[in-house]
Copies of this chain bind each other. A is one copy, B any other.
Amino acid sequence: MDMENQKIPQATAKRLPLYYRFINNLHNQGKLRVSSKELSEAVKVDSATIRRDFSYFGALGKKGYGYNVEHLLTFFRKTLDQDETTNVALIGVGNLGTAFLNYNFTKNNNTKIDVAFDADKSRVGENVGGVAIKHVDDLEENMDNISVAILTVPASVAQGIADRLVAAGISGILNFTPARITVPAYVRVHHIDLAVELQALVYFLKHYPLDVEEEDN
């Protein structure tokens, strides 16, 4: 890892979109300032963590005043490159894929699902959540300007599709299949396995009994 660009811990980076969304809502409501306590209650991250997260970007708040919403928004928008939209492809329009397509990503967001693919020929041309479904055989010719893919295919075909996505020049894959896929080192894969998420919650319940600890996720 290049330490020069890696000052922000990954846990902090993961919370940025969350902060951004809430601050954008505040701004839309005409709010001018927000305290770290209010922020904490809204995003369910303890205020010490919020202050530590924000400190990675330099001091943004003032004691007794809190944070200036406009400044925070400008800051987060720049940090998250909210003005630059990333075009996303979704592969596999089953239940999970349909849930993704119906989710309003463009609201407060810098991502847009541009195209969706399915292996079922009878679904080609169908429109789900404003996105036209194409056949997966035509994947390669529809990947112009697409840099990220959401993988919601059956686990058995996940690696084959991932290989084709990599060949088509994708740089990031959000893998929602139970399959662990292998890609070249320059491609980033974030893996969200529903079973693992559920098992992790159960594990935490058994081994990290809660008292007044705040969730930090």
Contacts and interface: CB of A to CB of B under 8 A. Distances in A.
Contacts of A8: 207
B102 A203 contact: no
Q: Interface residue tally of chain A, by bracket?
A: 35 or more
Contacts of A102: 95
B189 A111 contact: no
Interface of A: 1-2, 5-6, 8, 10, 13-14, 16-18, 20-21, 41-44, 80-81, 86, 88, 94-96, 98-100, 102-103, 105, 109-111, 147-148, 150, 171-172, 174, 178, 180-182, 185-217
Given A81-B206, A95-B96, A111-B202, 17 more contacts: A5-B207, A10-B208, A10-B216, A17-B199, A41-B182, A44-B191, A80-B199, A80-B203, A81-B202, A109-B198, A147-B205, A185-B211, A188-B201, A188-B205, A189-B215, A190-B200, A191-B217
22 contacts: A1-B208, A10-B208, A13-B200, A13-B207, A17-B195, A18-B193, A42-B180, A44-B180, A44-B189, A95-B99, A99-B99, A99-B194, A100-B194, A105-B195, A110-B199, A111-B202, A148-B198, A172-B201, A188-B201, A190-B200, A191-B217, A192-B192
